[in-house]
Structure 1
């Protein structure tokens, strides 16, 4: 998400096309990110919502009032900053409809890469009126919250997806419709005799943790670390449903900038490799370095990555021993020993 889209969101207020919230009015900001500047006439108080820990920390640093999940009702207005997941964008509109007073203003903004044109078209088909304004390579559109919204809320709210008949995930989470093929490859190489303390870095909705717990029933416990609050809550439910007797802890954490409290005998991970549309090995490199710091002496990292991701140099630099366990046409499994 670029800062341009943030400017797009506030542009209707800057130009006076849309009246700015007055003092005492409460504004819900869904998908909020730091870096926005309130127009001079914007006197309302903003309640920001951001489930991704790095972006949440940015808002905290900017002294914004922010929570990872939506809280409260009867807001006077809502702002929605779109992301790249269609289902998540629609769900934010559904949340705004639930939380904003009848007649309250809802402003939505996004770029071409966020599917803003199709989202605007879909909302326009509802016949709610409103208008739009293009600016800064994006589009902002707005409408008043109608009185009858139950059907639209039901249609736009994201639905849990059942994966392999036993996992729950949702739109916006990594590989929410099926088990990721890379994670499956790593799962096939997990130990069946592990008895120590493990961690799952970038745990998503918990697949690798469940696989490790099932393959090594003697493990002492597993800690799940995930930057997406929604995915972490899904992981909590999936671990409880699939391996309720395994000692587990859950940490909403940005591993690239927040250290773990404990050290581990084993860390498994399928590291993220992009923040935007383009692949970026820097995220995976940061996760590998974080894993090395979180391992006990003699502890082991097992990770899966796309074959083209250049993680070998950081593995050689960071670990006492390292190697490749296997690879297929798309993925490779690497290991490192501290």
Structure 2
């Protein structure tokens, strides 16, 4: 089987045997899964792909500091520049000083920035290859001057302390759509505590806002960075909630909720993807209690009314500021 992802194609032509390789933040590529020994990723889907092939699969938050990976390591450079810097610092903390590793990625994903990033961190840089609009660089770890923990950012919003990470959607700010959604439900929010599912919790602002008002929160996200951020946000505000890694409803079995609330993603890296949002809407009735309610916010141009109509037969628009619309559908 040959690699499909361009950066993996570049990696594949370096040599034939990658059985000792650990990959960090990789794309989903079947060749890479088959070739490598293990993965460290914040992406639930990637972790499942490696686990399904009986390969080691860890998030950066469940590897103890200094717990060794393989002797061969490749970091796949992420589109989010600050997340890439975090991975570099994390590797320097995780591995003995002087441990070699490589950095691969697509030009349109920002890999050309890597030599400058390495220079600023005091790390060496050797360009190994360049093809298929991708580049591969070699470097090694150094004793870090600043901790990867410094990437976490606290900010105040809606009377809450929000803890955010560069790997999380909307890092360091509250999304306009989320604000619109919370404003649209505040006056009608039941006083009786609800069992609420926050789908795609991000840094946890929706979960914390509802928990602060006495509701029982379950928060899920496909990103380990978001799961960790949401846990930290709840803790920073002295609030309780259950936070899980889940690809839409995958971790919830047959559990039902009074409300499901979401600012669902429609991008995966640079691609528009409605898949998770469509699954959220179509499967929501199976996870709502009788009389339960789904509330979502979306960019006004997205085709969610059609999906809501099919899944619920009827829905209403709670708010519309031209950029975003808030929809509610009752079971």
- TM-score, with length taken from structure 2: 0.86
- Equivalent residue in structure 1 for 2:155, among 163, 166, 172: 163
1:319 CA displacement? 0.8
Match runs of 1:45-124 below 5 Å? 46-69=37-60, 70-71=63-64, 72-73=67-68, 76-124=71-119
Q: SS at the partner of 1:321?
A: coil
Q: In the alignment, what sits opposite 2:196?
A: 198
Change (3 A) 1:104 1:236: closer
Query: Does the aligned pair in 1 maintain the 2:22–2:73 contact within 8 Å?
Result: yes
CA distance in 1, matches of 2:179, 2:223: 21
Query: Does the aligned pair in 1 maintain the 2:294–2:329 contact within 8 Å?
Result: yes
Q: In the alignment, what sits opposite 1:294?
A: 287
Is 1:138 matched up with 2:138?
no
Change (3 A) 1:276 1:129: closer
CA distance in 2, matches of 1:129, 1:242: 42
1:174 CA displacement? 0.6
CA distance in 1, matches of 2:114, 2:233: 31
1:12 CA displacement? 2.7
CA distance in 2, matches of 1:49, 1:113: 23
Q: SS at the partner of 1:184?
A: helix
CA distance in 2, matches of 1:156, 1:209: 25
1:242 CA displacement? 2.0
Is 1:334 matched up with 2:324?
no
Q: Deviations over 1:229-273 (max 9, x none)?
A: 1211211121123252x5x21211001655544101111100001
Q: SS at the partner of 1:141?
A: strand
Q: SS at the partner of 2:136?
A: strand
Q: Structure 1, unaligned stretches of length 5 or more? A: 15-19
Q: In the alignment, what sits opposite 1:17?
A: none
Count of residue correspondences: 317
Q: SS at the partner of 1:162?
A: strand
Is 1:230 matched up with 2:221?
no
CA distance in 2, matches of 1:115, 1:325: 39
CA distance in 2, matches of 1:36, 1:317: 34
CA distance in 2, matches of 1:117, 1:129: 12
Q: Deviations over 1:277-328 (max 9, x none)?
A: 2333333212212323211121101110001111001101101431111100
- TM-score, with length taken from structure 1: 0.84
Query: Does the aligned pair in 2 maintain the 1:163–1:179 contact within 8 Å?
Result: no
Change (3 A) 1:268 1:37: closer
Q: Deviations over 1:172-223 (max 9, x none)?
A: 1011110111000011122432422111111111111122233x43x3x111
Which deviates further from its counterpart, 222-231 or 63-72? 63-72
